[in-house]
C-alpha cells in the first residue's frame, strides 16, 4: 500500500498529530463553551443574562467548528492506515451522524424564526418552548459528538457491547 505525502509527513513528525489534536480540542471547547452556554441559557439557566448578550460570541463557535473541520480532515487523510481507519469505524460514523444532526438542528433554529425570538429574550425572560427543544437537542447532539469522538479508539469494545 502506498502512502500519501501527508501520511508520510505525519508519520515522520510526531509533533504534527499532537498539534492537530490540540487545535481540535480547542475548537471543540469553543463550540461547547459558547453553544453549550447559549443552549443552557435558552433552557432557563443564567437568567440574569439576556440571550442577545451571548450573540457576539457565536463567531468564535464558528471558528471552533472550522478548526475541527480542518483538523478532522487532516486526521482522516493523515492516518497511516488511510481513511478507512475512520470510515470503517462505527464510532466515527456515529460522531459524524451527530455532527450532521447538530448542523440540521442549527438550520431549523435559524430558518424557523426561533433565532430572532430567542435573541429578543430579555434578562429574566424565558425562551419559547420550541427553542428549548432545539437547545436540548443541541446539547445532547454535541455531547454525543464528544462521546463518540473519544471512544473511536475503542471501537472494538463498542461493537462488542452492541453485539456486532
Per run of 10 residues, the mean pLDDT along the chain (length 164 residues) is 79 88 96 96 95 95 96 86 84 95 95 94 94 97 95 82 77
Per-residue exposure over 28-44, b if at least 16 CB sit within 10 Å of its own CB, e if not: bebbbebbbbbbebbbe
Task: Give the pLDDT of residue 157.
Answer: 80
At a CB cut-off of 8 Å and minimum separation 6, what does 118 contact?
42, 51, 109, 127, 128, 131
Task: Give the pLDDT of residue 119.
Answer: 94
Task: Give the pLDDT of residue 26.
Answer: 97
Task: Give the pLDDT of residue 117.
Answer: 95
Task: Give the pLDDT of residue 3.
Answer: 78
| pTM reported for the whole predicted model | 0.87
Question: Residue 49's closest CA among 65, 63, 38, 62?
Answer: 38
Sign of the four-CA dihedral 37, 40, 42, 45: negative
Distance CA(156)–CA(152), nearest Å, equals 9
Task: Give the pLDDT of residue 1.
Answer: 58
Which cell numbers hold the place of 156? Answer: 472494538
Amino acid at each position: 500500500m502506498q502512502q500519501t505525502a501527508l501520511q508520510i509527513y505525519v508519520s515522520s513528525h510526531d509533533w504534527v498529530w499532537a498539534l492537530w489534536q490540540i487545535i481540535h480540542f480547542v475548537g471543540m471547547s469553543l463550540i461547547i463553551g459558547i453553544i453549550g452556554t447559549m443552549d443552557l441559557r435558552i433552557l432557563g439557566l443564567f437568567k440574569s443574562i439576556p440571550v442577545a448578550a451571548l450573540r457576539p460570541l457565536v463567531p468564535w463557535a464558528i471558528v471552533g467548528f472550522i478548526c475541527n473541520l480542518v483538523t478532522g480532515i487532516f486526521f482522516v487523510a493523515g492516518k497511516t492506515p488511510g481513511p478507512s481507519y475512520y470510515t470503517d469505524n462505527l464510532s466515527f460514523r456515529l460522531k459524524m451522524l451527530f455532527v450532521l444532526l447538530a448542523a440540521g438542528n442549527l438550520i431549523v433554529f435559524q430558518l424557523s424564526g426561533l433565532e430572532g425570538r430567542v435573541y429578543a429574550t430579555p434578562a429574566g425572560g424565558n425562551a419559547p418552548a420550541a427553542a428549548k427543544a432545539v437547545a436540548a437537542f443541541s446539547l445532547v447532539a454535541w455531547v454525543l459528538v464528544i462521546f463518540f469522538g473519544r471512544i473511536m479508539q475503542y471501537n472494538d469494545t463498542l461493537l462488542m457491547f452492541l453485539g456486532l
